[in-house]
Amino acid sequence: MKVDRLSPGSQLGPFDAGQQSGPTVLRIVLGTQLRRLREAQGITREAAGDHIRASHAKISRLELGRVGFKDRDIADLLTLYGVTDEREREEFLGLVRRANAPGWWHQYSDLLPNWFEMYLRLEQAAAIIRTFQVQFVPGLLQAEDYARSVILVGHQGESVDEIDRRVNLRMTRQKLLGEPGAPRFWAVIDEAALRRPFGPPRVMRSQLDHLLEMTELPNVTVQVLPFRFGGHAAAGGPFTILRFAEPDLPDIVYLEQLTSAVYLDKRAEVENYLAVMERVCVQAETPARSVEMLHRMRNEA
């Protein structure tokens, strides 16, 4: 189905979501359309929430694409927003069903907290992923033995089977970087993350070898921020910025905490993190010099 974006104040039209859009993209785009329809009718989030027997907070989460859609709720909202044409309603509800399709990680749902499942959805939908890491090599660049060592530290007491599944989940995530249409992945890694041993020396050697292999991918850029540069712009800690190809979708900053995560999408907040990322990239070694540094560290390991 070929679709066009809604302009503010318009009625429901076809969407520019495309047949190739993944569930996460569809969910966020559909949420944006719902917000535009609501605002065009001058309806508050509170009134919309009352109409579907829910809170204004749920309407906010729906409009941000951060929760799944229920057919009944969406049908009721379309009625409230004045969308009565049966063909238009069915097109919208058809996209809702596609947006609710489970991701590949569904088989690991018992291991995933909701806040990290949301990140996986966004990661799969992103066109550009930029990250700064201090303690660990980024998950998308971890070798299997290194990943196992990192996971063991955070999940002591779990069974061997659960650890194996967590490792498999991380390795499956990494397939993203080698698929057609893969996102551009740009990582700045503090030297501390590369010097901190997880497991015996062979694990770190394997990890450095893996990093060097990953830098050969055309869509992967790695920069190392050396100790000798002292303080740096991202002293506040690690963060990830996700950018999407769809113009309707804002950049999102992901801040992972011990038992939760924060997602920032307000323009001022995102721009602050983008500025910090740019400064860190300038402070870090160039990609070419970073590769040279990785080779030296590998020879020393």
Per-residue pLDDT at 301: 77
Beta carbons of 98 and 84 less than 8 angstroms apart: no
Residues 212-264: tens digit of each pLDDT: 999 999 999 999 999 887 666 666 789 999 998 877 678 999 999 888 899 89
Interaxial angle between packed helices 71-80 and 86-99, expressed in degrees from 0 to 180 and rounded to the nearest 10: 140
Residues 10-65: tens digit of each pLDDT: 344 434 433 344 667 778 888 888 999 999 999 999 999 999 999 999 999 898 88
Per-residue pLDDT at 22: 61
Residue corresponding to tokens 């907040």: 269
Residues 128-155: tens digit of each pLDDT: 999 999 999 999 999 999 999 999 998 9
Question: Is pLDDT larger for residue 29 or for residue 119?
Answer: 119
Which band of pLDDT confidence, cut at 50, 70 and 90, is reported for residue 174? very high
Residues 180-210: tens digit of each pLDDT: 889 999 999 999 999 999 989 999 999 999 9
Residue corresponding to tokens 């300038």: 282
Whether the predicted pLDDT of 7 surpasses 90 = no
Burial (CB count within 10 angstroms: exposed 0-12, middle 13-18, buried 19+), residue 16: middle
Per-residue pLDDT at 289: 97
Residues 62-84: tens digit of each pLDDT: 988 878 899 999 999 999 999 99
Q: Give the tokens for residue 287.
A: 């990609």
Question: Is pLDDT larger for residue 159 or for residue 265?
Answer: 159
Whether the predicted pLDDT of 292 surpasses 60 = yes
Distances (CA, A) of 141 to 83, 128, 278: 46, 15, 21
**Rg (alpha carbons) of the chain, rounded to whole number:** 22
Per-residue pLDDT at 232: 64
Interaxial angle between packed helices 23-40 and 114-125, expressed in degrees from 0 to 180 and rounded to the nearest 10: 100
Mean pLDDT of the region 88-108? 87
Longest CA span, the chain: 69
Of 234, 245, 247, give the one whose Cα is nearest residue 283: 234
Per-residue pLDDT at 258: 81
Residue 201 exposure: Cα atoms within 13 Å on the Cβ side: 5
Per-residue pLDDT at 124: 87
